[in-house]
Amino acid sequence: MTDAIGYERIGDIAVLKAQNPPVNALGYDVRVGLMEGIARAEDEGAKAVLIYGEGNTYFAGADIREFGQPPKSPGLPEVCDRIEASPLLVVSSMHGTALGGGLEVALSTHYRIAVPTARVGLPEVLLGILPGAGGTQRLPRVAGVEAALDLITTGRHIRADEALKLGIIDRIEDGAPREIGLAYTKELLDQNAPRRPVSEMEAPEPVDFDAVHDSVLKKGRGQISPATAVRAVQAATELPFAEGMKRERELFMELMNTDQRQGLIHAFFSERAVSKLPELKGVEPRRLAAIGVIGGGTMGAGIATAALLSGLTVTLLEMSPEAAEAAKGRIKGNLQGALKRGKIDQANFETLTEKSLTLATDYDALKDADLVIEAVFEEMDVKKKVFTQLDAVCKPGAVLATNTSYLDVNEIAAMTKRPQDVIGLHFFSPAHVMKLLEVVVADETAPDVVATGFALGKRLGKISVRAGVCDGFIGNRILSTYRTAADHMILDGASPYQIDKALEDFGFAMGPFAVADLAGLDIGWAVRKRKRAEGLDPRARDSAYADKLCEDGHFGQKTGKGYYDYAAGPRSRVPNPDVMPLIEAERAEQGITPREFTDEEIVRRYMAAMVNESAKVVGEGIARRPLDVDMTLLFGYGFPRYRGGPLKWADLEGLPGLLDDIRSWAKEDPYFWEPAPLLEKLVAEGRTFDDLNKEAAA
Ligand code: 3H9
C-alpha cells in the first residue's frame, strides 16, 4: 500500500486513514491507496470500511497541481465507482473541509457522518472546471436538483447543519473523526443497515435548465464553468447514471482544456504565493496589538473598521473633536454593515465602538501604538508634517506607515530619524471591504517592518502584495498607463461608452470610465495637475476634456454626473450628453480626424498597454514576480479572475504577437508604446511570464 492511506483493522471494520498533508488532496498516491485499501478490506473479510482524514481535514479535493499533466490511472471517477460498488458497507467520517473530489468520494460511500464544524462543497467551478468524479450526477440524486445547482454553480461551502438538512450527510456528532466514525459504522453494522449506492437512486426531477443556464452565464460575466456545470446536472435528470457520468466527463474535459481553467488555477496558487517572500523567511514581525490611524475620512475610517474587526485596538487621530466624532460616525456606519451581515453581534458592536476605539486630537495619544497608519490628504507637505510629528511621539520600534497611493515613501521616511521603521501600506477604498493591500517597501525599510506589514494584512484578511517605490507603486502606475491608452483611443475616435462596454464584455466588473466616475473624477484631475506641474515629457499626448468636466463641478457619482449621468441612481447610468461635445471640441482643437475602433482593437490596445507597463514594473523590480502584478490587478482593479491577471492573460494570448502589435503602434506613438525590455527579452528567449514565476518559486 502507498503511505498516503493508512490501513487498520478494528474488529469487522477496516479503517482507511488519509495521510497526505496539508489538505489530504486526492493525488495519485491517495487514489491508489483507496483502491488498494478497499480491495484489502474485501480480501480480508471485513464487513465495513471507514474512511477518514488525518490532520486538519477530510479530502479537500483533487490535487490541483496534477491538472494539465498527463492523467494517471486510476482516475478519481474510477476510485469513486470502486468505493460505491464495494459489497462492504462503506462509511465516511468528515471533518475540516470535504470539498470537490473530497465530497465526491464521500458521496460514493454509503453513509456519511461529520463533526459540527465540517464544511462541504463542490467549488470546482471556481477553478474553471466542474465536479468530474460524479458530483454532478450524485449530488442532485441526494439533495435534489435545486440545491445541487446552487452548490455546484456558486461553489459555496456549506456548514454541516445545512448539509444534514439537504441529506448530504446523515448525522452530525462531536468528537474525533476516527472515533465517531467507528461508533457510527458499528451501529450501522449492528442494525444490518443496507449499502446505499447513490447511483442506484432514482433520477431527480428536472427544472427549466435553459433558464438556469442563461442566468448563470450572465452572472458569470463571461465565465463559462458554472453554466457548463448546469448542463452536467441536466444530464443527471435525463440520462441513466452511467450515461450521465459520460456526459459529465465530456463537459469536464472541455473545461479542463480552456484558458479560463488555467487563469483560475493560476489565481488560486498565486493568491497563496503572493505573501511568501524569500526575504521574509525566518523574519519575525513586530508586535501588533494597538494601532493608530491618522485621518478619519472614508479611507481612514475604513482602515480603522478593518483593524477593529480583526481585534486590534485603534486610536483615531483627527484635527478637531468634531472631525473625530464624524470619523466615529463613519466607523459605526461601516460596523453596522458588519452587524447586518452577521459578522459581529450587538455586543461586539458596542465593544468595538466604545471600548476598542479611542478618539484623539493630540499626537501624544499615539505614543503607545505599535503601528500608526496615516490616511491624511494626499499631498507631500501634509504627509511630511505628519511624519515629523510621529517621529517625535511614537515609541521606539513602532511601525510608521503611510497610506499614500502615489507619493515617494523614501521622501516621507526621510522626515524621520528612523527610516527603517517607515513603510507604505496602501489600502483600497472602502478599506474594510477591498481585499488588496500594497505593502510598499522603501529603500531603508527593515525586513521585520515588511514582515509586520504582511502580518497586518493577514490579520485583516487582505491579499498583501510587496511593491517597490515608484509613482503609483504597482497598481496605480499600471492603471495610469492603461487609462492613458483609453484616453488616446478617445482622442482618436472611440467613445468612453464603447470602451467601457468592450472592457465589460471582456470581463472587467466596470469599464475605466465608469470606474473613474465611482472613484471620483477629482482624483484623476489632481494627479494630472500634479504631473503637469512636475513637467510632462514633450512627447506625451495630453488632453483637457476630462478637466473641463471637473471644472464644471462634475466629479462622477458623488455629484450625480461625470462620464455618465446618475439622475436615476448609481446603478442606472446613462451617458452624460455634455461629454461627447467636449471630446469632439478637443479632437478639433488637436486637428485629429476621428476613426472607427472595433471592440476587439479597443481590448487589444488596452490590454497591451497594461501588459507592457506590467512588464516594466516587473523588469524594474517594483513587483518581484509577474504573479504580484496579476494579484494586484485581480484584487484591487476588478480584473476578471478567470483570466488570471494581465500577465497570465499575456502568456495565454502569446507574447510574440503582443510585442508585434506594440512595435507596430510604436510607429505612430513611440513614446507611449515603447516596448518593455523584459517583454522583448522574454520573446527573444521564447519564455513566458509564468516561467519567471516558476523560477522565483524554485
Ligand atoms: C476537484 O476536486 C476536481 C474533481 O471534482 C474532479 C477530479 C477528476 N490540491 O488554502 P491553504 C494547498 S478540484 C493541491 O493555504 P487553508 C495550498 O496550495 C479541487 N494543493 O489553507 C497550500 O499550499 P502551500 C476542489 C492544495 O487552511 C496548502 O494546501 N477543491 C489543494 O486556508 C494549504 O492551503 C478545492 O477547490 C488542492 N486541492 O484552506 C479546494 N488545496 O502551503 C481548494 C489546498 O504550498 N482548497 N492546497 O501554499 C481550499 O479551498 C483551501 O485550501 C482549504 C484550506 C479550504 C482546503
> Is ligand 1 within 6 A of the CB of residue 37?
no
Dihedral angle over CA of 233, 236, 241, 244, nearest 10: -60
- Is there a cis peptide before residue 74, judged by omega within 30 degrees of 0? yes
pTM of the model: 0.94
Q: Name the band, by pLDDT with cuts 50, 70 and 90, for residue 499.
A: very high
Active-site residue, selected from the candidate residues 8, 54, 124, 173: 124
Q: Whose CA is nearest to atom 42 of ligand 1?
A: 22
> Is ligand 1 within 6 A of the CB of residue 271?
no
Asked if pLDDT for residue 570 goes beyond 90, the answer is: no
> Is ligand 1 within 6 A of the CB of residue 245?
no
Nearest alpha carbon to residue 378 among 234, 244, 488, 523: 523
Angstrom distance (rounded) from CA 96 to CA 135: 19
How many angstroms does the Cα of residue 401 sit away from the middle of ligand 1? 33
> Is ligand 1 within 6 A of the CB of residue 61?
yes
Q: Whose CA is nearest to atom 44 of ligand 1?
A: 23
Q: Whose CA is nearest to atom 4 of ligand 1?
A: 101
- Site of grid cell 494581465: 646
How many angstroms does the Cα of residue 235 sit away from the middle of ligand 1? 28
Q: Whose CA is nearest to atom 48 of ligand 1?
A: 272
Q: Whose CA is nearest to atom 11 of ligand 1?
A: 272
Q: Whose CA is nearest to atom 49 of ligand 1?
A: 60
CA distances from 444 to 18, 385, 418, 429 (A): 47, 20, 9, 27
Out of 20, 64, 65, 693, give the residue to mutate to test ligand 1, the one with the largest number of ligand atoms within 8 Å of its CB. 64
> Is ligand 1 within 6 A of the CB of residue 236?
no
How many angstroms does the Cα of residue 61 sit away from the middle of ligand 1? 7
- Is there a cis peptide before residue 71, judged by omega within 30 degrees of 0? no
Q: Whose CA is nearest to atom 39 of ligand 1?
A: 23
Angstrom distance (rounded) from CA 383 to CA 498: 39
Residues of the chain with CATH 3.40.50.720: 288-467
Is residue 387 within 8 Å of residue 412, measured between CB atoms?
yes
Is residue 471 within 8 Å of residue 481, measured between CB atoms?
no
Other CB atoms within 10 Å distance of the CB of residue 384: 16
In this prediction, residues 597-620 reach a mean pLDDT of 98
How many angstroms does the Cα of residue 53 sit away from the middle of ligand 1? 14
Per-residue confidence (pLDDT) for residue 1, from 0 to 100? 61
> Is ligand 1 within 6 A of the CB of residue 100?
yes
> Is ligand 1 within 6 A of the CB of residue 60?
yes
Q: Whose CA is nearest to atom 54 of ligand 1?
A: 23
Q: Which atom of ligand 1 is nearest to the CA of 132?
A: 6
How many angstroms does the Cα of residue 63 sit away from the middle of ligand 1? 7
Which numeric CATH code is attached to 5-260? Answer: 3.90.226.10
How many angstroms does the Cα of residue 96 sit away from the middle of ligand 1? 12
Active-site residue, selected from the candidate residues 84, 104, 374, 438: 104
Residues of the chain with CATH 3.90.226.10: 5-260
> Is ligand 1 within 6 A of the CB of residue 500?
no
> Is ligand 1 within 6 A of the CB of residue 76?
yes
How many angstroms does the Cα of residue 26 sit away from the middle of ligand 1? 10
Asked if pLDDT for residue 2 goes beyond 80, the answer is: no
Per-residue confidence (pLDDT) for residue 278, from 0 to 100? 87
Determine how β-strand 13-18 pairs with β-strand 48-53: parallel
> Is ligand 1 within 6 A of the CB of residue 124?
yes
Q: Which atom of ligand 1 is nearest to the CA of 101?
A: 2
Which 3 state secondary structure label does DSSP give 535? coil
What's the mean per-residue pLDDT of the chain?
Answer: 96
> Is ligand 1 within 6 A of the CB of residue 133?
yes
Other CB atoms within 10 Å distance of the CB of residue 213: 20
CA distances from 580 to 434, 483, 490, 586, 673 (A): 32, 18, 10, 10, 26
Is residue 426 within 8 Å of residue 453, measured between CB atoms?
no
Nearest alpha carbon to residue 155 among 93, 216, 203: 216
Out of 23, 99, 225, 272, give the residue to mutate to test ligand 1, the one with the largest number of ligand atoms within 8 Å of its CB. 23
pLDDT tens for each residue of 304-316: 999 999 999 999 9
Q: Whose CA is nearest to atom 55 of ligand 1?
A: 97
Is residue 185 within 8 Å of residue 122, measured between CB atoms?
no
Angstrom distance (rounded) from CA 215 to CA 73: 37
More confident residue, 519 or 594: 594
- Tell me if residue 124 is catalytic: yes
Q: Name the band, by pLDDT with cuts 50, 70 and 90, for residue 169.
A: very high
> Is ligand 1 within 6 A of the CB of residue 465?
no
Q: Whose CA is nearest to atom 50 of ligand 1?
A: 60
Is residue 423 within 8 Å of residue 445, measured between CB atoms?
yes
pLDDT tens for each residue of 40-94: 999 999 999 999 999 999 999 999 999 988 999 999 999 999 999 999 999 999 9
Q: Which atom of ligand 1 is nearest to the CA of 77?
A: 8
Is residue 402 within 8 Å of residue 387, measured between CB atoms?
yes
Dihedral angle over CA of 614, 616, 621, 623, nearest 10: -10
> Is ligand 1 within 6 A of the CB of residue 97?
yes
> Is ligand 1 within 6 A of the CB of residue 103?
no
Q: Name the band, by pLDDT with cuts 50, 70 and 90, for residue 173.
A: very high
Q: Options 1.10.10.1100, 1.10.1040.50, 1.10.3720.10, 3.50.30.50; which CATH number does 475-535+595-697 get? A: 1.10.1040.50
pLDDT tens for each residue of 147-166: 999 999 999 999 999 999 99
Residues of the chain with CATH 1.10.1040.50: 475-535+595-697
Is residue 523 within 8 Å of residue 555, measured between CB atoms?
no
Q: Options 3.30.70.3040, 2.60.40.10, 3.40.50.720, 3.30.70.360; which CATH number does 288-467 get? A: 3.40.50.720
How many angstroms does the Cα of residue 123 sit away from the middle of ligand 1? 10
Q: Whose CA is nearest to atom 19 of ligand 1?
A: 61
> Is ligand 1 within 6 A of the CB of residue 248?
no
> Is ligand 1 within 6 A of the CB of residue 63?
yes
Other CB atoms within 10 Å distance of the CB of residue 437: 30
Angstrom distance (rounded) from CA 218 to CA 472: 34
Task: State the ipTM, two decimals.
Answer: 0.99
Q: Name the band, by pLDDT with cuts 50, 70 and 90, for residue 297.
A: very high
Alpha carbon distance, N-terminus to C-terminus of the chain:
31
Q: Which atom of ligand 1 is nearest to the CA of 60?
A: 56
Q: Whose CA is nearest to atom 32 of ligand 1?
A: 272
Pull the grid cell for residue 397. 520600534
Angstrom distance (rounded) from CA 417 to CA 434: 33
Angstrom distance (rounded) from CA 642 to CA 263: 5
Per-residue confidence (pLDDT) for residue 383, from 0 to 100? 95
How many angstroms does the Cα of residue 546 sit away from the middle of ligand 1? 46
How many angstroms does the Cα of residue 55 sit away from the middle of ligand 1? 14
CA angle 424, 425, 426 (to 5 degrees): 105
> Is ligand 1 within 6 A of the CB of residue 272?
yes
